[in-house]
C-alpha cells in the first residue's frame, strides 16, 4: 500500500480527530495531484457541518430576540415557528453530521482498497 493512499485515507478519517487542520495541511504540503484532490474533498465535507452550525447560531439568535413575543403567542394558543426552530435545527444538524461521518469513513475505506 502506497503512502499516497494512506495519506488520502487519513484526510477522510480525520473527521474523528482533526477535522479541518489535517486536510488543510495535507492540501498545502503535498505535491501529488490525487492526494490534493482527496484532501480538498475531505476539507469541504468537514466544512459543511461548521457552516450549518454558524447558520444555526444565527437562527438561535433570532429565536432568542423574539423570546418575549413567543411567550405571549404560545400563551394565547398560537403557533410560533421560532419557538421550535432550535429543535428543528438540532435534528437537521445531527442528521447532516451523521451523513458526513458515514461519507468520510466510506471514502477513506474506498481509497484504501
pTM here is 0.78
**pLDDT for the residue numbered 70:** 57
Chunked into runs of 10 residues, the chain (113 residues) has average pLDDT values of 89 91 93 93 91 84 66 60 76 92 95 90
Joined grid coordinates for residue 10: 487519513
Residue 51: domain span: 3-112
**pLDDT for the residue numbered 76:** 62
Is the alpha carbon torsion for 12, 17, 23, 29 positive or negative?
negative
92 CB-side CA count, 13 A: 14
52 in Cβ contact with 96 (< 8 Å)? yes
What's the pLDDT tens digit per position in 60-84?
A: 777 776 655 555 655 566 666 666 7
**pLDDT for the residue numbered 16:** 92
Q: How far is CA 78 from CA 61, 67, 69, 71, 82, in A?
A: 21, 14, 11, 10, 12
**pLDDT for the residue numbered 12:** 94
Selection from 41, 34, 44 nearest residue 5 by Cα: 34
Number of structural domains (the chain) is 1
**pLDDT for the residue numbered 88:** 84
**pLDDT for the residue numbered 23:** 93
Amino acid at each position: 500500500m502506497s503512502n499516497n493512499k494512506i495519506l488520502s485515507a487519513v484526510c477522510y478519517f480525520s473527521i474523528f480527530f482533526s477535522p479541518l487542520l489535517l486536510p488543510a495541511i495535507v492540501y498545502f504540503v503535498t505535491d501529488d495531484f490525487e492526494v490534493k484532490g482527496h484532501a480538498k474533498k475531505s476539507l469541504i465535507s468537514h466544512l459543511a457541518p461548521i457552516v450549518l452550525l454558524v447558520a444555526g447560531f444565527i437562527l438561535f439568535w433570532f429565536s432568542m430576540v423574539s423570546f418575549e413575543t413567543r411567550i405571549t403567542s404560545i400563551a394565547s394558543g398560537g403557533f410560533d415557528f421560532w419557538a421550535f426552530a432550535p429543535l428543528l435545527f438540532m435534528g437537521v444538524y445531527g442528521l447532516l453530521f451523521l451523513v458526513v461521518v458515514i461519507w468520510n469513513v466510506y471514502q477513506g475505506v474506498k481509497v484504501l482498497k
